[in-house]
Amino acid sequence: MERIPQSLVAMILAVAACLCYAFSGALSAWYFVTLSVSSLVGNNLSAAGSWMLFVAAAIVFFGLCAPAWEAVLARQWVSATEACGAAVGALVLAIGLLIDAASAASAAGSVVPAVGIGIWALLALARAGRMSLLEQESSRPRQASLWLISAFGMFASAIGYGLTASAGTGPLVALAVLLAAGLAALGYQSGWPGCAVWWRPARLAVFSPGWLRWRLPMSRLP
């Protein structure tokens, strides 16, 4: 798993996948905004969002294959196993999203992506256990609890995704709540490394001379 953020190909494909996912989310959000205005526009937006989501999952699959192959070549079998497991999860997710995009009424379009996210959740749970064992032996940074929260978020997202919305408003509410809970858990988990990435540009924007004319007066302090 450490190999994935160290692979240039994987990170370039991750940028592309994030852009596709953001576009898909914007289309889906716009679909719900315009749901009662025109059903034709709404359906088109929903279908476009589903296809963009499939494209994002396919890019994630190819992005995970690159570090998996690099780990196999380097004979790092633990990393290779984790990356291959994540790639299998992404493949199942992509197949499910393809079914969902091609036939929106199919129940398999909800269940198969949930299986893919469930595979990722199991991987995160296994990694949490492994990190917990490693942290007992040495003074490594504490990461097991973060992986556990991540696994919870993925399980919540998988259950939410697996619910079909055809039974009425109850499953719809449960789906929204579970998706929001999963997203919140993943956001909390990624907040720790995410803060490190965002802190430096934010500090430069506020404190470095010449960046902003309207910067805070405390930047003149020695």
Taking CA atoms, 15 is separated from 1, 11, 22, 57, in Å, by 18, 6, 11, 12
Query: Using the rule CB under 8 A, which residue among 72, 172, 174, 207 binds other proteins?
Result: 172
Residue of 155, 132, 129, 152 whose CA lies nearest to 142: 132
Question: Quick check: 167 binds other proteins (CB under 8 A)?
Answer: no
Q: Please give the size of the binding site for other proteins, defined by CB under 8 A.
A: 33
Nearest-approach distance from CB 118 to other proteins, in angstroms? 19
Query: Using the rule CB under 8 A, which residue among 41, 108, 133, 180 binds other proteins?
Result: 180
Q: Which is nearer to other proteins, 22 or 206 (CB)?
A: 22
Question: How wide is the angle at C-alpha 176 spanned by C-alphas 165 and 155, nearest 5°?
Answer: 95
Question: Quick check: 164 binds other proteins (CB under 8 A)?
Answer: no
Q: What is the dihedral of CA 59, 60, 62, 65, to 10 degrees?
A: 170
Token look-up 């039974």 returns 167
Query: Which residues are near other proteins by CB under 8 A?
Result: 5-8, 11-12, 14-15, 18-19, 21-22, 25-26, 28-29, 32-33, 35-36, 169, 172-173, 176, 179-180, 183, 186-187, 190, 194, 197-198
